[in-house]
Amino acid sequence: MSHRVDIFVAVQRILPKHGLSRLIGKVAESKRPWLKNLLINRAIAAFSINMHEAASDNLDDYENFNAFFTRALKDDVRVIANNHNSVCCPADGVVSQAGTIDKNRILQAKGSDYSVSRLIGDSSSAQKFQDGSFATIYLSPKDYHRVHMPVSGTLRATRYIPGELFSVNDKTAQGLDGLFARNERLVCEFESELVGNFIVVFVGAMLVAGIETVWGGFEKPEPGAVRESNFSDQHLIYAKGEEIGQFKFGSTAIILFQKDRVEGMADLTPQAPVMMGQEIASLTE
């Protein structure tokens, strides 16, 4: 297994990942009916996508492949945990890893961890999360690709950090140190009366055509330039379970909480399937 993982990672190292992602992005934006319908049908078959959950199963309602990939769901197919103390899963997918932040390090895979400071691009902010809790959720191509709030909170700032575009699946997580702190990402810092400061990180990946947020739209990639935005004076408040953004292909969402704010996150089982809205932890009373 480890040999296959090494080869899988080695191939990715030499691929023109940004170029491929831009090319795929252009194709995915095509509005030619024959092309976008071909791509959609192939994706449904290849990834066993459940169209019964989609707000529309009519392909004519999707102007391009990206519109299909970031499709909305019917109102009743995801239930937001309504317990006042619940922490919701931010996305559909599987649990990559979850647990305690130890000495400013997050577990990536068995025997491998990485720095919170490097992940979020700010060492002083990282200190707030020492001994806190984290969960990493991997979204595969078959999953619903919108990200939602794990708890209610007010957006304070975002930080776009350019980087690589390695795949974020389990094979790469096992074989590439610091994967999530290497890839392009958008760090979203929130403040909540319930849990204090918390962070949601959108991690880009190979073939991801873009990260979008409900407050800023498409996050335009700018290689080499960290882009910080302050929203503290805009009173952007989002309820638990409310949509905050989306990916245009499979990727990863990471949530970080401060020490003694939530409990039960360490009980999540790696590779266990999860759905947006389900309770994955609870607030510490």
Tens-digit pLDDT profile for residues 34-77: 999 998 999 899 989 999 999 999 999 999 988 998 999 999 89
Q: Say whether both 36 and 110 belong to one domain.
A: no
Task: Note the pTM of the prediction, 2 decimals.
Answer: 0.88
Q: Say whether both 140 and 238 belong to one domain.
A: yes
DSSP secondary structure of 47-69: HT--TTSBS---GGG-SSHHHHH
Q: Which of 43, 69, 95 corresponds to the end of one domain?
A: 69
Q: Do 25 and 209 contact (CB within 8 A), yes or no? A: yes
Mark 34-69 as b/e (b = at least 16 C-beta within 10 Å). eebeebbeebbeeeebeeebbeeeeeeebebbbbbb
Catalytic residues: 92, 148, 251
Q: Say whether both 15 and 127 belong to one domain.
A: no
Domain that holds residue 8: 2-69
Q: Say whether both 163 and 230 belong to one domain.
A: yes
> Tokens 């791509």 correspond to what residue?
39
Q: Say whether both 16 and 120 belong to one domain.
A: no
Q: Say whether both 97 and 206 belong to one domain.
A: yes
Q: Do 222 and 271 contact (CB within 8 A), yes or no? A: no
Q: Say whether both 128 and 235 belong to one domain.
A: yes
DSSP secondary structure of 73-121: B-TTSS-----TTEEE-SSSEEEEEEEE-BTTEEEEETTEEEEHHHHHT
Give the helix/strand (H/E) hosting 132.
Answer: none
**Residue 219: band (very low, low, confident or very high) from pLDDT cuts 50, 70, 90:** confident
Q: Is the pLDDT of residue 6 over 60?
A: no
DSSP secondary structure of 10-43: HHHHHS-HHHHHHHHHHHHT---HHHHHHHHHHH
Q: Say whether both 17 and 136 belong to one domain.
A: no
What percentage of the chain has pLDDT greater than the value 70? Answer: 81
Q: Say whether both 97 and 213 belong to one domain.
A: yes
pLDDT number for residue 176: 54
Number of domains, the chain: 2
Q: 38 lies in a domain?
A: yes
Considering only residues 23 and 269, tell me which one the structure prediction assigns the higher pLDDT: 269
Which one-letter DSSP state was computed for residue 140? P
CA pair distance 20, 5, nearest whole angstrom: 21
Q: Mean pLDDT across the stretch 14-30?
A: 55
**Residue 285: band (very low, low, confident or very high) from pLDDT cuts 50, 70, 90:** confident
